[in-house]
Amino acid sequence: MGNTGDGGCCRLALTDEDKEGRDLVVNWMKDLGLTVEIDAIGNIFGTWRVGAGAPVMTGSHIDTVRTGGIYDGNLGVIAGLEVIETLQSAGVEPKRPITVAVFTDEEGARFAPDMLGSLVYVGGLGLEAALDTKAIDGPRLGDELERIGYAGALPCPGATPHAFIEYHIEQGPVLEVENQQIGVVTGVQGISWQEIVIKGQSNHAGTTPMSMRHDPAYAASMIGVFLRELARSMGGNQVCTVGRIELVPNLINVVPKSATLTVDIRNTDEQLLQHAESTFQDFIERLASTEGVEITSRRLARFEPVVFDDGVLDVIERESTALGATSMRLPSGAGHDAQMLARVCPTGMIFTQSHKGLSHNPAEHTDADLLELGANVLLATMLAMANDEHLN
């Protein structure tokens, strides 16, 4: 489901490929004897009902971007199921239930914002507003959820877990460059997504003097150049991306009528992120005036930087060391469901290396021994959290 034939995966949220993937994971959960529940935004929960009290939860997402790799998100779900299977085979029963979650639409690539399912789960976005979200290809999220049969009965927001631990590839180069096997993730950087619409005047490419043009394609290009320069001048963790540009009518001999583009701005520091946003806003106001075009922006996502629970990080670090793994603390450049669960319970993340730092790319790769080591750290951490050892 979603195999792109080049080693990658295209499983956009709530597509038929996503349904196939969901059905497969639900079957794996049932094979493990887990209680499978689905909530009103399509989040899937497989719970091993042992022990007592609120569950220790792990998991991630199985939706991907269009040029996805096979590890982003999938690793966290599969490793979570592997943790349960390993404990069951060893006859080890945790003192708390263990839940593996598959959160809806983590990528936000088809339906913005990203981490949509986990955001609804923790009460950060109302269910009805989420269900009314429109896809970039048109359909309403709630209709797609019904169509693939994952509009569940469990209410949103959901029950608060005892703790949440997410295992994920780093999707960046740091662990490999620093030759560290495990990333003890300190938090997630702030994310600002906007859709920018530029309306100009379509005109003839051959007859229209340059001085008479009001060209949205030119304005969109200048936005890309400005954002690159802004990130370079700010330095540090500042990143800016134009990921999508659509021109109308998108023809060789027509000065376009309009351009629609997306802007992704991120920083680990909230003040710097706000500075980048306001600097960009000033630029597009100047650009609209000089080029004689109308520029409007619509916010698609805005999340402040998140810091994970120190107690959980200490357990991850301790269990990594006990397993003989090298580890380092680092922030996440990518967004994750864990940044939403951190709003409601003690939360942490475990990273494994991404070869050459590649992700959102079919060449995404992590060596099997590193994948296994990270999964063992996840098992040890979840067991410690389930047996409340972290409180000692």
Footprint on this chain of Mn ion (rule: CB under 5 A): 72-73
Burial class (CB in 10 A: 0-12, 13-18, 19+), 275: middle
Least distance (Å) between residue 125 CB and ligand HGY: 15
Query: CB under 5 to 8 A by kind: which of Mn ion, ligand HGY, none does 114 bind?
Result: ligand HGY
Smallest distance, Å, CB 114 to ligand HGY?
A: 4
Tell me which residue has its CB nearest to ligand HGY. 335
CB 253 within 8 A of CB 204: yes
Position 335 contacts ligand HGY (CB under 6 A): yes
Q: Does 337 bind ligand HGY (CB under 6 A)?
A: no
Sign of CA dihedral 266, 272, 276, 277: positive
Q: Which is nearer to ligand HGY, 160 or 241 (CB)?
A: 241
DSSP label at 50? -
Among 334, 350, 370, 371, binds ligand HGY (CB under 6 A): 334
Question: How many CB atoms lie under 10 A from the CB of residue 389?
Answer: 15
- When CB distances are held under 5 to 8 angstroms depending on the partner's kind, the choice from ligand HGY, Mn ion, none that residue 337 binds is none
Candidate ranges 105-113, 158-166, 204-212, 343-351; the one touching ligand HGY (CB under 6 A): 105-113
Cβ neighbours for 327, distance < 8 A, ≥ 6 positions apart: 180, 181, 182, 183, 184, 316, 317, 320, 321
Of 87 and 101, the one with the shorter C-beta distance to ligand HGY is 101
331 cis-preceded (ω within 30 degrees of 0) = no
Instruction: Considering only the stretches 107-115, 251-259, 280-288, 321-329, report the one whose residues sit in contact with ligand HGY under the rule CB under 6 A.
Output: 107-115
Exposed/middle/buried for 227, CB within 10 Å: 0-12, 13-18, 19+?
buried
- Regarding 106 and contact with ligand HGY (CB under 6 A), the answer is yes
3-class DSSP assignment, residue 153: coil
Q: How far is residue 259's CA from residue 240's CA, in Å, rounded to a whole number?
A: 19
Q: How many residues bind ligand HGY (CB under 6 A)?
A: 6
Q: Pick one of Mn ion, ligand HGY, none as the site partner of residue 335 (Cβ within 5 to 8 A by kind).
A: ligand HGY
| 239-248 sheet: strands from edge to edge | 239-248, 258-267, 190-199, 294-303
Residues near ligand HGY (CB under 6 A): 106-108, 114, 334-335
